[in-house]
């Protein structure tokens, strides 16, 4: 790519393909892969990411909310889309746009049956979500009989999949907890399977589950963060390539004399003469104020430049006293080096938080 002249988010589709193929290499040939593209595909671009993954023959997509699935349909995506956290107000839209709801409570089950019957549906695909320990959403393990009995009273819906979610699959110190989740899900499957004359898809592994618990891959696995370049450990991160690189440019360089301050609230006061560079990116773009005052840094000409004072809405100022740079030089916030993991660690955060926070006003540029 040529010289950067503004703040951009580079999206490397070659890296996406690498991550997709690496994850596929961990699976049996008949195990499906679901790509999680919620939150603008983890802060990148859901439409472009989904289009490319569709070319790679991904089996399923998942989004958090209905409108995210609608946007994918509007972009021409034909692959099945699971809506992980649907609300009854959107059920008609889900049916109209051929989306598939996660059914996670008795209230949601009854409401979706009512809507599907009103819309004259037959065997509309639903996904039953069971809580095996994360304690977020999902039927309890003792709800199987009631749920299956209710589903047996209508022909408007059909179980497309049964799934759960691992709560600590990235932490090998929590193997007992995770194995108990797997056992609990196996028990749920053993109760559901005899009640059906067909086999739904069973799945519970997230990215870390794919990597750490091959015995739980079942019929399908789900990957979000892995597709975008992170494996939830330093060892596994080395197998992935970050898809997104956040870049900007040095707008102006100032000479700051000892005793002068930089930025709002005079949060930084110079104790010696220094040089500062102003960069057009700020907390409205996802670089929160917690990164200010020397905690966060960017890279200019392969050297770290720490943030001076408070992060502004649209700008940050960084210390370039020891860096040979000039106005117009490229700035890397995160990408391959430093990675989003390294950047976020400066404020005890995680890669998920920084990459999903990047504002949609930042221009997306695609490397194909």
Q: What is the mean pLDDT of residues 232-253?
A: 93
Residue 131, phi then psi, degrees to nearest 5: -90, 120
pTM of the model: 0.96
Which pLDDT band holds residue 317 (cuts at 50, 70, 90)?
Answer: very high
Domain ranges in the chain?
13-229, 244-367
* Span 292-302, pLDDT tens digits: 999 999 999 99
Among this protein's residues, is 38 annotated catalytic? yes
* Span 204-222, pLDDT tens digits: 999 999 999 999 999 999 9
As a whole number, the mean pLDDT across the chain is 97
Angle formed by the axes of helices 46-55 and 66-74, nearest 10°: 60
Beta-strand relationship, 8-12 and 244-249: antiparallel
What's residue 2's pLDDT? 63
Residue 175 has pLDDT above 70, yes or no: yes
* Span 9-55, pLDDT tens digits: 999 999 999 999 999 999 999 999 999 999 999 999 999 999 999 99
Which pLDDT band holds residue 235 (cuts at 50, 70, 90)?
Answer: confident
What's residue 349's pLDDT? 95
Residue 257 has pLDDT above 60, yes or no: yes
Residue 1 has pLDDT above 80, yes or no: no
What's residue 3's pLDDT? 83
Catalytic residue (one of 38, 160, 241, 247): 38
The sign one gets for the Cα dihedral 109, 110, 116, 120 is positive
3-class DSSP assignment, residue 319 = strand
Q: What is the mean pLDDT of residues 223-248?
A: 93
Which pLDDT band holds residue 141 (cuts at 50, 70, 90)?
Answer: very high
Among this protein's residues, is 264 annotated catalytic? yes
What's residue 232's pLDDT? 76
What's residue 168's pLDDT? 97
Q: Are residues 306 and 299 in contact, defined by beta-carbon separation less than 8 angstroms? A: no
Catalytic residue (one of 65, 177, 264, 366): 264
What's residue 183's pLDDT? 98
* Span 114-140, pLDDT tens digits: 999 999 999 999 999 999 999 999 999
Q: What is the mean pLDDT of residues 234-241?
A: 90
**CATH number of 13-229: 3.30.420.10, 3.20.20.10, 3.40.50.11540, 3.40.50.720?**
3.20.20.10
The CA distance from 95 to 9, in Å, is: 34
Cα 350 vs. chain centroid, distance in angstroms?
Answer: 12
Q: What is the mean pLDDT of residues 293-322?
A: 97
What's residue 169's pLDDT? 96
244-367 folds as Lyase, Ornithine Decarboxylase; Chain A, domain 1 (2.40.37)
């Amino acid at each position: 790519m040529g010289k950067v002249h503004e703040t951009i988010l580079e999206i490397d589709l070659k890296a996406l393909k690498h991550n997709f193929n690496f994850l596929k290499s961990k699976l049996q040939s008949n195990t499906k892969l679901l790509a999680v593209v919620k939150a603008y595909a983890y802060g990148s671009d859901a439409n472009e990411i989904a289009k490319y993954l569709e070319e790679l023959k991904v089996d399923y997509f998942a989004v958090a909310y209905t409108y995210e699935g609608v946007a994918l349909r509007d972009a021409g995506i034909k692959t099945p889309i699971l809506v992980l956290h649907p609300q009854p107000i959107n059920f008609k839209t889900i049916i109209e746009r051929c989306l598939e709801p996660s059914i996670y409570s008795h209230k949601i089950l009854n409401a979706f049956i009512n809507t599907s019957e009103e819309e004259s549906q037959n065997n509309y695909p639903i996904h039953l979500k069971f809580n095996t320990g994360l304690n977020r959403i999902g039927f309890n393990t003792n709800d199987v009989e009631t749920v299956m009995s209710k589903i047996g009273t209508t022909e408007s819906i059909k179980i497309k999949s049964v799934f759960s979610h691992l709560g600590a699959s990235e932490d090998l110190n929590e193997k007992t907890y995770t194995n108990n989740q797997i056992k609990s899900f196996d028990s749920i499957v053993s109760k559901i399977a005899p009640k059906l004359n067909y086999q739904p898809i069973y799945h519970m592994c997230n990215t870390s589950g794919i990597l750490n618990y091959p015995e739980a891959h079942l019929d399908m696995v789900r990957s979000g963060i892995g597709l975008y370049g992170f494996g939830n450990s330093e060892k596994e991160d080395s197998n992935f390539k970050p898809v997104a690189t956040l870049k900007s440019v040095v707008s102006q360089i100032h000479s700051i004399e000892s005793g002068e301050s930089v930025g709002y609230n005079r949060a930084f006061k110079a104790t010696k003469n220094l040089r500062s560079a102003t960069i057009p990116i700020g907390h409205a773009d996802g670089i929160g104020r917690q990164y200010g005052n020397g905690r966060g840094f960017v890279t200019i000409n392969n050297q770290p430049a720490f943030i001076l004072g408070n992060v502004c809405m649209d700008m940050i100022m960084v210390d370039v006293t020891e860096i040979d740079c000039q106005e117009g030089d490229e700035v890397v916030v995160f990408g391959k080096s430093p990675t989003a993991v390294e950047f976020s660690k400066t404020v005890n955060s995680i890669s998920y938080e920084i990459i999903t926070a990047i504002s949609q006003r930042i221009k997306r540029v695609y490397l194909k």
